[in-house]
A and B are shown apart, each in its own frame.
Chain A
Amino acid sequence: MPTNFDPSQQKKRVNPAPTGEKSWAADLLADAFGWEFWIFFLVAAGFGVACYLVRGADVMWAALQSDLDMLLKLLPRLLVALSIAALIWVMLPRRWISGLVGSEAGWAGLVVATVAGALTPGGPSSAYPLLAVLGASGADRGAMVAYITSWAILGMQRVLIWDVPFLGAEFAILRTLVSLPLPILAGLIARNIPLTLTLRPITGASDAANSSSGAGVAEKGQGA
């Protein structure tokens, strides 16, 4: 469970202490071929066996062949996309992003949150801690919802690594354009919907009891 709330801490994983050189390689191997990989592997193998039994050996081999072809075609694009993602990850300060959101209110706040969400590099392990910081520093509920929704559906890194290699550039561009207004719409709905929001205090995920005793940042359903 991530208890790491300071976005600047995230860099430490990228750049571990010099002594960690060997354990970095070991971690890498564990990451690549850990239990999660073996679940993926077993499920794929299971479908392969089912395919063999139901459709016969020829169909199974043909499917295997065409999937390996597809992966070979994907690899160059993926390699370039991952280089882009790594460069953005290292160069774009996450502190700057959290400063950006909350600098504006009203409509502009939603637009800024949408832009910040789309720019935020990395997976949920970098976006959610940032969102927690935003919430603790007083960003309104609309901006918070717009930010994380934008990261989820518009995140540039996701579009580059996943949409472009798997479904093509045209589709990626279309999906991005179609999705542009959506985080703002979600933010507007969040501002006007009568739901109470009690954010978990940022001191740590372990003291969940605090939020029920009133230590959490409570916020009423007010439009900003």
Chain B
Amino acid sequence: MNIGLILLSICLTGLVIVALRRREPAGPVLKRMVEQFAKLVPRMLCALLGAGFLAQLIPQQAIAALLGEDAGLIALPIAALTGVIVPAGPVISFAIAALFAKSGATTAALVTFITSWAIFGLHRVFVYEVPLLGASFTRLRLVSGAVLPLVAGGIATLVGLVISYGTAVPN
């Protein structure tokens, strides 16, 4: 039992109480859950195994050297760039983030990586954004959001100077 599971359980309990009070039918909720579970878990298994094997192939010192304490502020642009070139959903990108965390990446670098991936994720751009809103919106959004990963990493770095809260704890 760790803090993450406790936090999630509190959230769930609150929502279940609300749902019971509103007499929500359980069917759609269970269905949605099973759908998501079936979609995610088999892929997650493969992504975690793939990332684990990859970790043995790429020496962890190399990752630590680029994204760890010793890299200093250069870790942020490297993390941002890495986020741009991961053109996949959260299954892969968070498996990679956990791998980075295990290899000694700093919290600020992880924040930068996730923010960058969330903003640039090319898979979403081509499947949803361009068809639904048009390329000019994509251009506006990417230009407006381009600095955010570094801003996020910068704030995280400053926070890290004051308190040592928020260290990632991959399993």
Minimum CB–CB distance from B121 to chain A (whole Å) comes to: 7
Is A105 interfacial (CB 8 A cutoff)?
A: no
Interface residues of B in 123-171 (CB under 8 A from A): 124, 127-129, 131-134, 136-137, 139-141, 143-145, 147-148, 151-152, 155-156, 159, 165-171
A-B contact number at CB 8 A: 300
Output the least CB separation between A118 and chain B (Å): 12
A107 interface contact, C-beta 8 A: no
What are the 6 tightest A-B residue pairs by CB atom distance, in nearest-first order?
Answer: A174-B166, A168-B169, A44-B50, A47-B53, A40-B46, A67-B52
Which stretch (B19-27, B60-68, B69-77) binds chain A?
B19-27
| Residues in chain A near residue B48, CB distance under 8 A | 67, 70-71, 74
Interface check A116, CB cutoff 8 A: no
Nearest neighbor of A66 in chain B, beta-carbon distance:
B52
B137 contacts which of A48, A125, A197, A208 (Cβ < 8 Å)? Answer: A197
Q: Does A112 contact B (CB under 8 A)?
A: no
User: Does A28 count as interface, using CB distance less than 8 angstroms?
Assistant: yes
Given A37-B43, A59-B56, A88-B15, A168 contacting B136 (CB threshold 8 A): no
In the complex, the answer to whether B36 meets A132 with C-beta atoms within 8 Å is no
**Dominant SS among interface residues on chain A:** helix
Contact residue among A55, A67, A84 (Cβ-Cβ distance under 8 Å from B49): A67
Q: In the complex, are the beta carbons of A178 and B140 less than 8 A apart?
A: no
**B27: chain A residues within 8 A (beta carbon):** 15
Identify which of A24, A50, A74, A196 contacts B136 (C-beta below 8 A): A196
Give chain A interface residues in 32-77, CB to chain B under 8 Å: 32-33, 36-37, 40-41, 43-44, 47-48, 50-51, 54-55, 59-60, 63-64, 66-71, 73-77
Find out whether the CB atom of A158 lies under 8 angstroms from the CB atom of B30: no
B152 A182 Cβ-Cβ under 8 A = yes
Residues of chain B touching chain A, judged by Cβ–Cβ distance below 8 Å, are 2-9, 11-12, 15-16, 18-19, 22, 24, 27-57, 89-91, 94-95, 97-98, 101, 107, 110-111, 114-115, 118-119, 121, 124, 127-129, 131-134, 136-137, 139-141, 143-145, 147-148, 151-152, 155-156, 159, 165-171
Question: For chain A residues 84-122, which have a beta carbon within 8 Å of chain B?
Answer: 84-91
Q: Is the interface of B mostly helix, strand, loop or mixed?
A: helix
What would be 19 A-B contacts, judged by CB atoms less than 8 Å apart?
A1-B127, A2-B128, A14-B35, A47-B57, A64-B52, A80-B9, A84-B11, A87-B16, A124-B128, A128-B128, A152-B118, A152-B119, A160-B11, A166-B94, A167-B169, A185-B147, A186-B144, A186-B148, A200-B132
Residue among B42, B46, B140 with max Cβ neighbours from chain A (10 Å): B140
Residues of chain A contacted by B50 (CB below 8 angstroms) = 40, 43-44, 47-48
**Chain A, interface residues (CB within 8 Å), range:** 35 or more
Interchain CB contact under 8 A, B132 and A190: no
**A31 contacts the other chain (Cβ, under 8 Å)?**
yes
Give the residue among A124, A158, A168, A169 with the most B Cβ atoms within 10 A: A168
Establish whether residues B131 and A84, one from each chain, have CB atoms under 8 Å apart when the complex forms: no
Q: A50-B57, A87-B19 are in contact. Are A77 and B151 (CB under 8 A)?
A: no
The residues of A that contact B7 with a CB separation of less than 8 Å are: 164, 169
Contact status B165-A170, CB under 8 Å = yes
Return chain B residues, CB-CB under 8 Å to A17.
none
**Given the complex of chains A and B, what is the CA–CA distance between A37 and B46 in angstroms?**
8
The answer to whether A166 touches B57, judged by C-beta atoms less than 8 angstroms apart, is no
Shortest CB distance B171–A (Å) = 4
| Contact between B107 and A171, CB atoms less than 8 A apart | yes
Given A149-B144, A197-B137, 10 new contacts (CB under 8 A): A2-B128, A2-B131, A31-B39, A48-B50, A51-B53, A64-B52, A80-B5, A124-B128, A167-B94, A190-B141
